[in-house]
Every structure is written in C-alpha cells, then in structure tokens.
Structure 1
Amino acid sequence: MDAVIVAARDAQVAVGETVQPGADDGRLAVLRGALQRKFGATLPDDYAALLRRSDGVDFDGLVLYGSAQSEASPGPGGFWQGLIAANKLWRQGPGHEAYLVLGETDIDLFTVSLDGTNPVLRDKVSSDVNETFPSVGAAIERLLSTRA
C-alpha cells in the first residue's frame, strides 16, 4: 500500500496540488477516541497507516478524509474534510449511522462498518453497495492507483 500512497502523492505534486503532511501517533490517538465517543466507530489500522503518510487526500475526484481537519480548522490548501467533520455532515441525512465514511469519489462513498471492517464503495444517493474489498488497505490501493 505504501508504494501506491507515494505514487499518488508524487502525482499530486507533479500537477501542483497541495499534499497533506502525515499525522503523528498522538493525533491518531485523539482521532481514535473521538470516533469511538461520537460514532461508536473504530479507525481501521490500514486507514491509520494512510494518515501517517498523508493526513487526508483530495485529488482527481477522490477525497480520503483526514484526522482532524474541519471547516473551522482546515489543513494546508484549505483541506477541511476530516473524518469527524465529514461524518457529522453525512449523518445529517438518514441511513448513514450504521457505518463510518472514510472518503468519497464523485459518485461513491468509501465506508466501513462501525467496527472498522467490511470496506465497500456505496452509491452516494442510494447507498447501494457498488464494490466490496477484502481489506481497507486493498480499497485504498485501488482508489489511489486509479489516480496516480
């Protein structure tokens, strides 16, 4: 997975996009606690590995949410899509309480069950499952490799 993350970051840099720095273990510990308190959700280890490399991604129609960003406290380049902020927004509409949204494409939501398992792409409108993955890492690799 690491090679795909690096390739995606390199592709972003090559076209002048802002790349988010990695999150440290302290920031990830705060995120894990906040996800549990607010949503009863567990941060998948593979997603934490992504955040250590790049604390959020916004590139070519793909957004993978960061650890702590929000509209009030954005990251570099104005990146505001943190996991907590984005999931609060998704939960304003019905039907999104049963999973954690890790990111989105133009047409899909990248979600996991609240226990951090069962990664899938869901249609943004209907929530129908469009694609399943054996692991969060495999999903991240697939999503990033189509853009790098």
Structure 2
Amino acid sequence: MVLELLEDIEKIKNQDGKSIMLPASDKNIQSIKKWTSKNVRENLWIKEYENLLKKVDGLEFNGLVIYNAQPNDKNNGFIGANEIWRDREWDNNYLFFGDSSISWYCMDIDKDVFLELDKPSGDVIQEYNGFEEMINEALKSVL
C-alpha cells in the first residue's frame, strides 16, 4: 500500500517536472542506524523505515514531512529532527519519523508502539499496529 501511495504522489510531482523516487544511499542509512543505536537504544532499528528509505529518501508533500537519511539535514533529516524533538523530557522516549503541521509520527520506544501525536501538546491521536500502517495513514491524509 505504501508503494502505491508513493506512486500516486510521484505522478503528482511529475506534473511539475519533479520526482520523489530517489533512494537514500546505503552510507546514509548506515549513519542513521548507528546514530539510533548510540543515542536512542542499542540495536533499535525499524526495517520498514529502511525499506522506505531505499525507495524514497524522505518526502515533503502537502505539509507532510517524512524524514530523510541525510545526516547533515538539520530540518528534515532523521538525525536532525530527532535531535530537536527528543531534546525535551516529555518526548525523549519517542523516535520520530515524520511530522505535519498538526502531527508527529513516531514510535514509543518504551512500549514498542507506533503513534501519531498531536503537535504541540504531545497527546496521542492514534496508535498503529506497525510502521507501515502509520506511514500509510500519514500518506493518505495528504492525498
């Protein structure tokens, strides 16, 4: 389902002469995996996120941002965004994968559950059965 939604977004972006289907480099994926093990929890990695990055290195579309694997991107990069969002005490148990103007898309690392949080209150809006379900809903919300 994620791939179909990405293809729908790709068709829209192609109308403007742009493409979203540019994969992250293996080097950048390894960098964010190392950062996650060092700064969040050892051996914590979401294979579905890696699979997404191998198709599209982040996404900015209709207000939705899915973080990319570029280690030096302080705004929309996975590392940069997590360094910002995890800086406060209330949200340091979350690993963030994306955001919109009203939501954060993340994983509660203590409960191993994927969530949509209200921005800025941090209240849980929706709980998901996995990463792919969370990203599906995020993508559908902007199409």
| Structure 2 equivalent of residue 118 of structure 1 | 113
Shift of 1:147: 2.4
Normalising to structure 2: TM-score of the pair? 0.84
- Counterpart contact for 2:13–2:19, Cα < 8 Å: yes
Distance of 2:102 and 2:77 partners within structure 1:
19
| Structure 1 equivalent of residue 64 of structure 2 | 62
Normalising to structure 1: TM-score of the pair? 0.82
Shift of 1:121: 0.3
Distance of 1:71 and 1:20 partners within structure 2:
18
Shift of 1:46: 1.4
Shift of 1:38: 1.8
Give the number of aligned pairs: 141
Shift of 1:120: 0.8
* Deviation sequence 1:102-122 (CA, Å, 0-9, x none): 110111110102379311100
What is the one-letter code of the residue matched to 1:62? L
What is the root-mean-square deviation of aligned Cα atoms in Å? 2.3
* Deviation sequence 1:24-79 (CA, Å, 0-9, x none): 3343222211111122262311111111111100110100001124347xxxxxxx
Seen in structure 2, the aligned counterparts of structure 1 residues 108 and 24 have a Cα distance that, compared at 3 Å, is same
Identify the match of residue 135 of structure 2 among 115, 129, 140.
Answer: 140
Q: Report the more deviating stretch, 93-102 or 59-68.
A: 93-102
- Counterpart contact for 1:5–1:50, Cα < 8 Å: no
| Structure 1 equivalent of residue 26 of structure 2 | 25
Seen in structure 2, the aligned counterparts of structure 1 residues 12 and 94 have a Cα distance that, compared at 3 Å, is farther
Matched, 1:93 2:88: yes
| Structure 2 equivalent of residue 35 of structure 1 | 36
- Counterpart contact for 1:104–1:110, Cα < 8 Å: yes
Higher RCO by CA contacts (8 Å cutoff, separation 6 or greater): 1
Matched, 1:84 2:79: yes
Seen in structure 2, the aligned counterparts of structure 1 residues 88 and 138 have a Cα distance that, compared at 3 Å, is same
- Counterpart contact for 2:78–2:96, Cα < 8 Å: yes
Distance of 1:89 and 1:20 partners within structure 2:
27
The runs of 5 or more residues in structure 1 that have no matched partner are 73-79
- Counterpart contact for 1:22–1:54, Cα < 8 Å: yes
